[in-house]
Amino acid sequence: MVELPIAQDELEDTLDSLAAVFVTHIHSDHWDDPAIEQLNKDLPIFCQPNDTDSIKHSGFAQVMPVESSIEWEGLNITLTGGIHGTGEVAERMGPVSGFVIKSRSEPSLYIAGDTVWCPEVESALQTHQPDVIVVNAGAAQFIDSDPITMEAEDVIRVARAAPQGRLVAVHMESMNHCVLTRAELAREIDEASLSDRVLIPADGETLTF
């Protein structure tokens, strides 16, 4: 629903600067034809095991499925679970994953991926105690479904379950099935007295930890 917040030359510079790509799952709002066409085919692509063949079929030479945990370039990368919705909808959406990325010299990062609050997310938070947590909010949903990504209540649960962490809520106001706006989420976060730990970046905004 929105254009990229950078110009074409900036996009090319960004693509050229990438060291690796993390693919939580291959739904088209995360892994689409322009990404496949423009990414360097020699880039390491970290993914969940069941997406390996599809990504290789797209021409990528270094597809690196994470079964459990691997070491790469000084990073420890661990696959985490999630549930993309509830009930039958979650089954139809298929498996989705997240990643915990740890380095000796940087804050640890948990990318939750497309998931609602669930035991898998709670377990990842308890096990890894991440410093920075990126959650896909927006309360994405179909006409006949409950949310398939985190709604405000889920984001608040994550924040309360990880008092040591800073949260970054993304995946909002760019796809028409995401009904939770940044302003609505900010209001609920403020009412829960969590505004000091939950960040809601604008399009194109850069956060440094």
Q: Mind listing the pLDDT tens digit for each residue in 1-10?
A: 888 888 989 9
**Residue 179: per-residue pLDDT:** 85
Mean pLDDT value across residues 154-164: 97
| pLDDT(187) > 80 | yes
Distance CA 154, CA 170 (A): 13
| In the chain, % of residues over pLDDT 90 | 78
Q: Is residue 204, in this structure, part of any structural domain at all?
A: no
Report whether pLDDT(167) > 90.
yes
How sure is the predictor about 90, in pLDDT bands with cuts at 50, 70 and 90? low
How many other C-beta atoms lie within 10 A of the C-beta of residue 185? 22
Whole-structure pTM value: 0.93
Higher confidence at residue 196 or residue 143? 196
Helices 182-191 + 152-161 axis angle, to 10: 50
The answer to whether position 184 is within a domain reads: yes
What are the φ and ψ backbone dihedral angles of 106, each rounded to 5 degrees? Answer: -135, 160
Instruction: At 32, list the tokens.
Output: 């689409």
Is residue 205 one of the residues assigned to a domain? no
Which pLDDT does position 87 carry in this prediction? 74
| Residue 201 to residue 164: CA distance in whole angstroms | 20
- Is residue 190 assigned to a domain? yes
70: Cβ–Cβ under 8 A, 6 or more apart, which residues? 64, 76, 77
Domain CATH code at residue 107: 3.60.15.10
* Domain assignment of residue 1, yes or no: no
In-domain check, residue 2? no
Residue 38 falls inside a structural domain = yes
Domain count, the chain: 1
Domain annotation covers residue 20: yes
Q: Which of 34-43, 46-55, 109-118, 143-152 has the lowest mean pLDDT?
A: 143-152
Of the listed ranges 42-46, 93-97, 156-160, the one predicted with least confidence: 93-97
Q: What is the mean pLDDT of the chain?
A: 93
Between residues 8 and 55, the one the model is more confident about: 55
Domain that holds residue 117: 8-199
